[in-house]
Amino acid sequence: MRGRDIVVLTGSGISAESGVATFRDKDGIWAQYDYREVATPEGFAANPDLVHSFYNDRRRKLPSVDPNAAHTALADLEAGLVARDGRLTLITQNVDDLHERAGSNNILHMHGELGKAACIHCGDISACAGDLSIDDDCSVCRQKGGMRPYVVWFGEMPRFMDEAMAAIACADLFVSIGTSGSVYPAAGFAGEARAAGVDTMELNLEPSENAHVFSDSRYGPATSVVPEWVRETLNEHD
Ligand code: APR
């Protein structure tokens, strides 16, 4: 018997209890920074040092934060589904590495990764644990002035969209965790799932902007709501 295929989309809310700032909560990142200055190609062209400083600050904080019970629960879900001939596709809008550090494997970082850098000149993508600067040269093409964070900015095409849409289209269940549903295309995934006849669920601190699209929902902190849902989901199969 085929196991269950589940697709999970996560947003910054799943990392909030690890101490990683969300974007649109009252004390969020966009209350402190103008996204046009630090998260757009135009902002990078105008002031690359400001953009590198914004991401360097966030990259420096990564080693000091740890995965929480919600990240760990999703890693347990993946292992549990695979053991039952199923699959978990984890699409994340987050650029932190907390899902990886919790043990998840099948991850699609649709908005890129803080721990990587990209060269504008040759396109090479390389690991980046420390600070980035516009003065750095690319380790592959050796050109200067082209190193940028491997992060998808507003107005750029998110990554792995074909894989994400393919997984959603054939899933048994689509679950959205810790996202406000403010930014497309991720905010449209629940509607795509519903149109494909896939059950949908929202797990969030509070109803998101597209809460009405979901056929089921549970509200509360991710570290309590997600582990409880994972336990129930895996027990259903035993
Ligand atoms: N548990 C569960 N959900 C939480 C928690 C928590 N402890 N804390 C906050 N949330 C919820 C908030 O209620 C909100 O709905 O997480 C969501 C965070 O929403 P945003 O701050 O808008 O972050 P996100 O949805 O990830 O933003 C999407 O926007 O700026 C871009 O690229 C950026 O990937 C980001 C995208």
Nearest CA to ligand 1 atom 15: 180
Put residue 65 in one of left, alpha, beta given phi > 0 → left and psi -120 to 50 → alpha.
Answer: beta
Nearest CA to ligand 1 atom 5: 13
Rounded to the nearest angstrom, the distance between the alpha carbon of 22 and the centre of ligand 1 is 5
Establish whether residue 12 lines the binding site of ligand 1, counting it when its CB lies within 6 angstroms of any ligand atom: yes
Residue 100 banded pLDDT, cuts 50, 70, 90 = very high
Q: Look at residue 238 and tell me whether its pLDDT is greater than 90.
A: no
**Is residue 111 annotated as a catalytic residue, yes or no?**
yes
- Distance between CA atoms of residues 14 and 156, nearest Å: 24
Rounded to the nearest angstrom, the distance between the alpha carbon of 234 and the centre of ligand 1 is 26
Give me the domains of the chain, ranges plus CATH numbers. 5-19+67-111+158-236 (3.40.50.1220), 21-64+112-151 (3.30.1600.10)
Establish whether residue 111 lines the binding site of ligand 1, counting it when its CB lies within 6 angstroms of any ligand atom: yes
Catalytic residue among 71, 99, 109, 111: 111
Residue 1 banded pLDDT, cuts 50, 70, 90 = low
Helix, coil or strand: residue 208: coil
**pLDDT tens-place string over residues 130-169:** 999 999 999 999 999 999 999 999 999 999 999 999 999 9
Yes or no: say if 236 and 212 are a contact pair by the CB < 8 Å rule: no
Give the Å distances, CA to CA, from 180 to 38, 63, 103, 132: 20, 26, 25, 29
* Best residue among 20, 25, 27 to mutate for probing ligand 1, ranked by most atoms within 8 Å of CB: 25
Establish whether residue 10 lines the binding site of ligand 1, counting it when its CB lies within 6 angstroms of any ligand atom: no
Q: Which residues of 33-48 are buried (b: 16+ CB within 10 A; e: fewer)?
A: eeeeebbbeebbeeeb
Q: What is the pTM of this model?
A: 0.97
